[in-house]
A and B are shown apart, each in its own frame.
Chain A
Amino acid sequence: MQKRGFIALLAIFLLVGSAIPVAVGESSTGISITDSRNVTTNLTQPATHVAAFGAFATITLVDIGYLDKAVMFDATSAYSKSGIVEVQNFSADKFVTVSSANKDAVVQKMLDLVDNGTWNKDNDVILGYGYSYLSSVWTALEGYGFKVITFYPNTYDGIVQVVEDIETVVGADHKVSEQMSYVKTFIAQTLAEHGINDTQKVTAVYLSYSSSVWKMGNGGSVTVDFINYAGGNNLGNNTAKAIPTYSVDLTAVVQLSPDYVLLDGYYTGSATDFSALLGDSSIHVYKLNKTWNSYCPDAMTGLWTVAGLFYPSYFEGKIPNAPASTQPDNTMLYVGVGAVVVIVAVAAVVLMKKRKA
């Protein structure tokens, strides 16, 4: 009787002891991401393979060290168009033009991956842009059972979230997204330490040029976030307009007279060319890098560079590294719980043997 009781007791301890790590483990391996279309994708584990249908996704995968998970790319990720060195020697059959006119070819390429055993529809994910003109492509792919996660951020924090989501999808740690958040925090803290208030902030505007029209950054865009988070005052902000950018002519720049003009990276001329157009040498013009407002870690470089431009004495040199993550390590938790269970079980065995004796 006592022996049976002892065995039952031991069994209960072992069961409870193993259940705790399993319970803890379940909440950390289940993945649920709601994308820019408000579509939620659930994964039981990180994706084995991904398709990077956007140069932003390819750059992010490179930066977080998981490019090998990508088995298909969109044409804009090719080296000739994106300059991403890591894909330079990839074969042409790994690239496909992702557009509504070409959606049948995109679907066919993905189905071919399924047929040759490379792609698992249940657990592999397609990463793409959330532009409305691509919605037919995503709908077509989802119609064939593919999982698609789209991204369409318009803020710096939104881009950080994009990087974090991609890290989660592929099972990477969150070092890169944490670093991106840290840079923003570091800049804000440094400015506060030096007592930079609203009246002392440098003034700036963001200008882009598209389809022969100049547009000024209002709010709700990444580059305007660069200005704000880098400690600048966006003179282009107009609360009467509800749009992120609005058309202007260059008289706007002359009349607003900002300290800095941040010129969009896609402007075909140089900063010097633009300065000549303005005819006002007191306004500093800086042309941004094209990838800095892309949905990838390059945005962090953009933010740091702009902060260094505005306050060179505070933000110079390399980007500071984020401190080591303070998130709890679940592995130690498992070991601890397991050790407690073993100790209690051994103690129970010893006690019962003594009583018998």
Chain B
Amino acid sequence: MDGVAKRHKRVLTVFAFLFILLLVFMVLDLAQAFIPLPFFDALQALFGYGSETNIIIVQKMNMPRVLMAILVGAGLGIAGAVMQAVFRNPMASPFILGLSSGAALGAAIGMSITISFIPMMLLVPLLAFISCMATLFLVYSISHVGGRVPTETLLLAGIAVGSFLSALVSLLTYLAGDQLQGIVYWTMGNMSNASWDNVLIVAPLMFAGCLLMLSCARDLNAMMLGDAHALDLGVEVKKVRLQLLIASALVTAAAVAFVGVIGFIGLVVPHILRIAMGPDNRALLPASIIGGAAFLLMCDYISRVIAPSIGVLPVGIITALIGAPYFIYLLRRRRSEVGWD
């Protein structure tokens, strides 16, 4: 009982910390401008007070970007936690099934063609989304052997398909030359062009995907013990796994469609939270939502302040610069120390 109460207290503390972190970085990121606004001026402008210029900057220009960062970070955070649980592999991430390569291929095709009735601003995210989902379908089909989908086969198929699609992107880039210069920046991730229209498209997809994943948290706990144990506990392993893969692919596709590939959120955030609050997915999944959002907000803020002489850096660079060293640290830690057992 004492141990349970202690664990509950720790979980609540982590949630409180994550919320505060989210709110602080939300205001800091809203305050970012050519000439950064003071923290409290940004807070005032958020509620419609202060100068007209500050209100335009905070509510019209920065708010879509900040909301997009929250949605994307939340989606990638929970997708990462789900992938790690489904594959029972601490190295898993939302892009492990080649989804990032699939999305990049769709974006590259969108940048090199024109369809008269679809504006370019919508064509690239649309094709990125479709391509991402198609990649999941392809990887799943390849892995489906004898009525079963072994996780190891799924992983390997994801790596193979991802490599193939990356090669196609490289080929397109080579053939198209200057026309596809933008794909390089797209693969680095960029929050700066988020608009209210983008937020309105992404939000429902994120909510739906996250809700579906949260509803499977208890089953996911069982699946982490192994398929056989999960089946014994009454979990429809194959069905739940497929649901979770589709939901995480949906969320990942929605995330990358408008902002490009932003890596390491789904890898790093669930791990840090697992160390802090344990592996129970009933707490870990919602915490990954908030943690992922806070982490991406923090990285977006850093990308805007770290190199003032250059300007705004692609946010994917910052997430990688923070995530990769942690990934190396992870490789040197034992599974039990990262809360896996």
Binding site for B on A (CB under 8 A): 99, 101, 210-214, 240-241, 246-252, 254-257, 268, 279-280
B151 at the interface (CB under 8 A from A): no
CB pair A213–B192 under 8 Å, yes or no, is yes
Report the bound CA distance from A90 to B310 in whole Å: 45
Chain B min CB distance to A131 (Å): 10
> Which chain B residue has the least Cβ–Cβ distance from A252?
B34
B56 at the interface (CB under 8 A from A): yes
B150 at the interface (CB under 8 A from A): no
CB pair B185–A251 under 8 Å, yes or no, is no
CB pair A255–B53 under 8 Å, yes or no, is yes
- A213/B190 contact (C-beta < 8 A), A249-B34, A251-B33, A251-B62 known: yes
CB pair A212–B34 under 8 Å, yes or no, is no
Q: Chain A residues near B174 (CB, 8 Å)?
A: 101
Count B-side interface residues using an 8 Å CB cutoff.
Answer: 26
Q: Chain B residues near A280 (CB, 8 Å)?
A: 56
> Which chain A residue has the least Cβ–Cβ distance from B182?
A211
Central interface residue in B184, B186, B193, by most chain A CB within 10 Å: B193
CB pair A212–B185 under 8 Å, yes or no, is yes
Given contacts A250-B61, A279-B60, A279-B61, 6 further A-B contacts (CB under 8 A): A101-B174, A212-B192, A213-B185, A249-B33, A249-B34, A249-B192
CB pair B312–A247 under 8 Å, yes or no, is yes
Q: Chain A residues near B57 (CB, 8 Å)?
A: 251, 254-255
Chain B min CB distance to A262 (Å): 17
Report the bound CA distance from A101 to B32 in whole Å: 42
Report the bound CA distance from A248 to B193 in whole Å: 11
CB neighbors of A among B157-213 (8 A): 174, 177, 181-182, 184-186, 190, 192-193
B118 at the interface (CB under 8 A from A): no
CB pair B56–A249 under 8 Å, yes or no, is no
Q: Chain A residues near B62 (CB, 8 Å)?
A: 251
Report the bound CA distance from A246 to B61 in whole Å: 19
Q: Chain A residues near B34 (CB, 8 Å)?
A: 248-249, 251-252, 255-256
A sample of 26 cross-chain residue pairs with beta-carbon separation below 8 angstroms, ordered by A number, consists of A99-B177, A210-B181, A211-B181, A211-B186, A213-B190, A213-B312, A214-B192, A247-B310, A247-B312, A248-B311, A248-B312, A249-B34, A249-B61, A250-B61, A251-B33, A251-B57, A251-B61, A254-B33, A254-B56, A254-B61, A255-B34, A255-B35, A255-B53, A279-B60, A279-B61, A280-B56
Q: Chain A residues near B177 (CB, 8 Å)?
A: 99, 101
Chain B min CB distance to A212 (Å): 5
Report the bound CA distance from A254 to B311 in whole Å: 17
Report the bound CA distance from A193 to B60 in whole Å: 43
Chain A min CB distance to B114 (Å): 10
B21 at the interface (CB under 8 A from A): no
Q: Chain B residues near A241 (CB, 8 Å)?
A: 309
Q: Chain B residues near A247 (CB, 8 Å)?
A: 310-312
Please name the 10 residue pairs, one residue from A and one from B, whose CB atoms are nearest each other, closest first.
A247-B311, A252-B34, A251-B33, A211-B185, A211-B182, A255-B34, A251-B57, A246-B311, A251-B34, A279-B60
CB pair B120–A268 under 8 Å, yes or no, is yes
Q: Chain B residues near A246 (CB, 8 Å)?
A: 310-311
Chain B min CB distance to A283 (Å): 11
Binary flags per residue of B109-133, CB closer than 8 Å to A gives 1, else 0: 0000000000011000000000000
Binary flags per residue of B18-60, CB closer than 8 Å to A gives 1, else 0: 0000000000000011110000000000000000010011001
Chain A min CB distance to B137 (Å): 28
Q: Chain B residues near A268 (CB, 8 Å)?
A: 120-121
Report the bound CA distance from A213 to B312 in whole Å: 9
CB pair B186–A212 under 8 Å, yes or no, is yes
Chain B min CB distance to A275 (Å): 13
Central interface residue in A241, A248, A251, A254, by most chain B CB within 10 Å: A251
Binary flags per residue of B285-316, CB closer than 8 Å to A gives 1, else 0: 00000000000000000000000011110000
> Which chain A residue has the least Cβ–Cβ distance from B175?
A101
Among B33, B181, B309, B312, which residue has its beta carbon within 8 angstroms of that of A255? B33
Report the bound CA distance from A72 to B16 in whole Å: 70
Report the bound CA distance from A114 to B214 in whole Å: 73
Report the bound CA distance from A208 to B32 in whole Å: 21
> Which chain B residue has the least Cβ–Cβ distance from A256?
B34
Q: Chain B residues near A250 (CB, 8 Å)?
A: 61
> Which chain B residue has the least Cβ–Cβ distance from A215?
B311
Q: Chain A residues near B32 (CB, 8 Å)?
A: 251
Central interface residue in B60, B182, B184, by most chain A CB within 10 Å: B60
Q: Chain B residues near A99 (CB, 8 Å)?
A: 177
Binary flags per residue of B50-77, CB closer than 8 Å to A gives 1, else 0: 0001001100111000000000000000
Report the bound CA distance from A6 to B121 in whole Å: 89
Chain B min CB distance to A177 (Å): 29
Chain B min CB distance to A265 (Å): 16
Report the bound CA distance from A255 to B31 in whole Å: 13
- A212/B311 contact (C-beta < 8 A), A254-B56, A255-B33 known: no
Chain A min CB distance to B69 (Å): 14
Chain B min CB distance to A18 (Å): 56
Q: Chain B residues near A101 (CB, 8 Å)?
A: 174, 177
Chain A min CB distance to B193 (Å): 6
Report the bound CA distance from A101 to B62 in whole Å: 42
- A279/B186 contact (C-beta < 8 A), A211-B181, A213-B192 known: no
Report the bound CA distance from A12 to B120 in whole Å: 79
Among A212, A254, A255, which residue has its beta carbon within 8 angstroms of that of B182? A212
Central interface residue in B53, B120, B184, by most chain A CB within 10 Å: B53
Report the bound CA distance from A184 to B336 in whole Å: 74
Q: Chain B residues near A255 (CB, 8 Å)?
A: 33-35, 53, 57
Q: Chain B residues near A279 (CB, 8 Å)?
A: 56, 60-61
> Which chain B residue has the least Cβ–Cβ distance from A269?
B121
Q: Chain A residues near B192 (CB, 8 Å)?
A: 212-214, 249
Chain A min CB distance to B128 (Å): 13
Q: Chain A residues near B185 (CB, 8 Å)?
A: 211-213
> Which chain A residue has the least Cβ–Cβ distance from B307?
A247
